[in-house]
Chains A and B, each alone.
Chain A
């Protein structure tokens, strides 16, 4: 792979405001009651008064070896050589939801047309967009920031080639990232976070 793009997320800077989830829908023209490509999980721990929350913004992790692609019977899901972004060719999607069952993060979503849609790192704008688009470029090279990154109030979300994102983060977060399937680095203290998928 030429380059692997991914997300960086710092829970200590996330204020749990949902600006990222709304920005994602605005950029990608997803109705409010439509598919949720990006979600915020308000993970909680404890009972009053020893109670705490941590806000985690998640979307597709653009996994190294995406389980959604493995199970897709029609080969609609692609792990792109040029930037590592996982895209879906909606023309090939038959709406079987295997991908949603396989994904540990609950990223693949379906709406009225029953075609899989999810985060494509704003390779394009809209469901099914991104497939077949040119390689993701950094902003200084004329590329676009994903909407969630561009509008993150606390600078909690970043996106870029993983090797570059790794440079700026604490070593324990890198260790944790290496143990994950997805291309995301999470820096967080506090409550344990669980991700829900259709198989849960």
Chain B
């Protein structure tokens, strides 16, 4: 047990004992205050060296507008921006940040941050100056290209701040590295591909606040939201529309707590439930005949697919009462189009998740709630920004084009997935098709096939990463650039999904504070590298802020103005955009049946599935391994409010909040917990807080048990992003992806599949 006592990041100011930031905010926004109380007077005397500036939270990449209190150049407090499309429930509403967003100061001022560039010399990483590190990286990149070709360099982009274009500009367009592993094969493929092929929009997002019937389906919206507007929208829907919230999840989440009904479904049987709901809706004549008739394809095959899928049939499979299935099917259909059935990782993590997601989306099509008021929404910003290169007459080459890429045929998805899937990267490295890797803040060893990834990183010829913490990647890198945190960089992002249901928005902010140590904002880092590589002409701007300023000309705003406002509502985006030109699918229709998608048709024939909605149980072959006598429990990894995708374990405030969330804050341990039903625990002699081992057919992990009546017997799970390779300062807890191996992929999209049969045993009363 090596829990270290740390200073929380040097925001020490107890000697100053200042009053709140509101007085400074009042001064800045120029709101007249006639009756300033003593508290305010006292505050203004003490806070003259304070200012309130804006930022945009990137902890979970939702861009929530931040109001940051800065004192003597140091950020000391923050909260959300009122009325912000992401941080608030809408115009005139209070802005807030979530618990992990509130951990931002602890990220920026974290004592464990990498503050200097590092390069590998004689096998060891050592600190270097920027000049030395940039020169070293450029030399290594040139040598790599000469020896192996730029096509052997993998772009594992991660989450550059605001999804800025400079990482791809350098490595894709200029260096010419064609292969990228994106989030589709670690996060959302089965859901986003099935939905994209059905309705032309990969990740429809609900118009939460206007909904009357919300089915959160393997989607913990009250905890694992992407922006504050989501839980706020659900609360609004409950309060203002008296909306019904249904939570389908084998564990009792905070969404279950807020829900009218919690349905702890037998894991991986969601597709059967969806088909039975379709059966009821058609049988009762509650579907949207106009929408189905005019805008869909394949209704007949869908109808046939659900003809014998009665609620009684599904009840046997799902462990949900037939009457309840009828009730939610009818409730959903009668509330439509102000209704939404919305899945996420609970479905996407399943090996049979593609079909399950297809069956769920068929329900949205059936009741005609696609892109409607209170239904799903095909969000778009509705406006574009200027291309700064084009404006300056700079012709950017696309050197990645026409580069040879490997073709594998080991898995069904490789028929159509052009880039490598996450789990297959180690194999590509072994075969010599990938020999290097560039990365920006991502941590692949926590996303699947972990042990092989570690080996792959070690055997690569060149690993370059931008990061703030020592992780399984940065420790193995040849060059580590100390990236600036969000508060230390300019930010610009536009989009649609937000609390403003019918508007596109833009949000942006200047750097709130100077970078700590020798860290550099991304733009300056990539510019320096580009100049050293001989591509300085493509980075003519002095700063990221200047680049953003040029982009903003398109909407008549300067970056300074936007930063002062935090956000701007720019465009109107109507509902039912499909009415103007059809859906963005191969045939312009909403497709119940995917026979119109040639790639999927071929793949479906290959693996013997229907192109129409269909129930596919786990089968030990392609569609998920099943539990047995030796491994009787089903394990998966989970999200929780206090962490974002396993990137916040470096933040002590987040670790603490997580421990409090599960009532273990009095223990020293700050790793993750295995949630297990007390019945399953009792059979194994396990008590709450015991140290346990989880064993699968392939591997094992050790962590602390959290006994919880809120999880389904037979099912266990833990939060992702802890243990070996994580950015947790002590690598405490278990890296759940140790159990995941190359073959654990969803066959249609190649996404890391994350349900593993396991056994659990007690090791002792304390972490060992």
Q: Which residues of A contact B (CB under 8 A)?
A: 13, 15-19, 21-23, 25-27, 29, 31-33, 36, 39-40, 42, 44, 46-49, 51-55, 122-127, 129, 133-139, 141-145, 147, 150-155
Which residue from A27, A126, A137 sits with its C-beta under 8 Å from B14? Answer: A126
Closest A-B pairs by Cβ, 10 of them: A142-B40, A144-B20, A137-B37, A134-B38, A32-B652, A18-B657, A22-B102, A32-B656, A18-B99, A137-B39
A52 touches B102 (CB 8 A): no
Which residue from B106, B235, B257, B642 sits with its C-beta under 8 Å from A52? Answer: B257
A32 — which chain B residues lie within 8 A by C-beta?
8, 106, 652-653, 655-656
CB closest residue in chain A, given B18: A125
CA distance A155 to B254 in the complex (A): 16
Binary contact readout B24-45 vs A (1 if CB under 8 angstroms, 0 otherwise): 0010000001011111111100
A136 touches B39 (CB 8 A): yes
CA distance A142 to B42 in the complex (A): 10
Closest beta carbon of chain A to B221's beta carbon, Å: 10
CA distance A21 to B97 in the complex (A): 12
Beyond A39-B660, A137-B40, whether A19 also contacts B97 by CB under 8 A is yes
Which residue from B8, B20, B37 sits with its C-beta under 8 Å from A122? Answer: B20
B79 touches A51 (CB 8 A): no
- 12 A–B contacts from the bound complex (CB under 8 Å): A15-B231, A16-B257, A19-B99, A32-B8, A53-B256, A126-B17, A133-B19, A142-B33, A142-B41, A143-B39, A147-B77, A151-B79
B101 — which chain A residues lie within 8 A by C-beta?
19
Closest beta carbon of chain B to A190's beta carbon, Å: 8
A136 — which chain B residues lie within 8 A by C-beta?
39
8 Å CB contacts to A: which residues of B341-374?
A: none
Which residue from A31, A55, A129, A143 sits with its C-beta under 8 Å from B257? Answer: A55
Q: Which residues of B contact A (CB under 8 A)?
A: 5-8, 11-14, 17-23, 26, 33, 35-43, 76-80, 94, 96-99, 101-103, 105-106, 222-223, 228, 231-232, 235, 252, 254, 256-258, 262, 264, 641-642, 652-657, 660-663, 665, 677-679, 709-713
B36 touches A141 (CB 8 A): yes
CA distance A84 to B518 in the complex (A): 48
B35 — which chain A residues lie within 8 A by C-beta?
141-142
A16 — which chain B residues lie within 8 A by C-beta?
222-223, 254, 257, 641, 661
B653 — which chain A residues lie within 8 A by C-beta?
22, 25-26, 32
CA distance A16 to B258 in the complex (A): 10
Closest beta carbon of chain B to A19's beta carbon, Å: 4
CA distance A31 to B17 in the complex (A): 16
A137 touches B38 (CB 8 A): yes
A23 — which chain B residues lie within 8 A by C-beta?
79, 97, 102
B42 touches A135 (CB 8 A): no
CA distance A29 to B256 in the complex (A): 33
B660 touches A135 (CB 8 A): no
Closest beta carbon of chain B to A183's beta carbon, Å: 19
A55 — which chain B residues lie within 8 A by C-beta?
254, 257
Beyond A17-B98, A31-B7, A32-B8, whether A22 also contacts B21 by CB under 8 A is no
A144 touches B223 (CB 8 A): no
B11 touches A29 (CB 8 A): yes
Interface centre among B12, B78, B101, B235 (most CB of A within 10 A): B235
B20 touches A125 (CB 8 A): yes
B102 touches A151 (CB 8 A): yes
Closest beta carbon of chain A to B563's beta carbon, Å: 22
CA distance A129 to B101 in the complex (A): 25
B657 touches A53 (CB 8 A): no
Closest beta carbon of chain B to A91's beta carbon, Å: 13
B76 — which chain A residues lie within 8 A by C-beta?
29
B79 — which chain A residues lie within 8 A by C-beta?
23, 147, 150-151
